Amino acid sequence: MRGWLVVCGLAVAASGSAAEPPVPAAWLAYAAAASDALGQRLAQADDARVARLHAFLQQTPQTAGAGPLAVRLWIDPVGTVTRSEFASLGDAQADADLHALLEQASLPAAPPPGMRQPLRLGLSLQPLPPDTP
C-alpha cells in the first residue's frame, strides 16, 4: 500500500512595510516545533481519519501536487489547537478529517508570550518512497 509523508513548514509572509519588526526567534522556533508535532500527528497510521485522508490523497494525486496548503491555527494557552482554517480539499470527508486531526492535536508547549495568532503554516502532502512501510 502506498503511503504519504506529511511535511509541515512555516509559511512566512513578507511585509510591505520596512518598519515591520522581524519575527521573534521564539515564534519561529515554536512554529517549527508545532510543524513537527502536526506532521507526526498526520502520519499516525493507526488513526482511521489519517487512513481516510491518505486514501483520498491517493485517489486525487493532484491534491498532493498542488503545493502547500495554507493552514491557520488558533492555539490555546496550554498548547492545544482549538480552531483550524484552510481551503477545501474538494471533499467534505477529507476536510472534516483534516480539521479533526488538527484540532485535536496537542502541541509540545504553550505558545510563547505575545505570539500572534493564528499560526500560519504551509502543509505539504507528499508520497512516501515506495519502500516505506
Q: What is the pLDDT of residues 76-97, one digit of tens each?
A: 999 999 999 999 999 999 999 9
- The residue type at 84: S
Is pLDDT larger for residue 3 or for residue 96? 96
pLDDT at 133: 52
Domain range summary for the chain, segments of one domain joined by +: 4-11+24-124
Query: CB neighbours of 80 closer than 8 A, spacing ≥ 6?
Result: 105, 106, 107
Q: What is the spatial distance between Cα 6 and Cα 11, in angstroms, rounded to a whole number?
A: 15
Q: How does pLDDT run across 108-121, given as a tens digit for each residue?
A: 899 999 999 999 98
User: What's the pLDDT score for residue 23?
Assistant: 85
What is the SS3 assignment for 91?
coil
End-to-end CA distance of the chain: 8
User: How far, rounded to the nearest angstrom, does the alpha carbon of residue 55 sit from its chain's CA centroid?
Assistant: 18
Question: Is residue 3's pLDDT more than 60?
Answer: no
Q: Is the dihedral of CA 31, 52, 86, 110 positive or negative?
A: negative
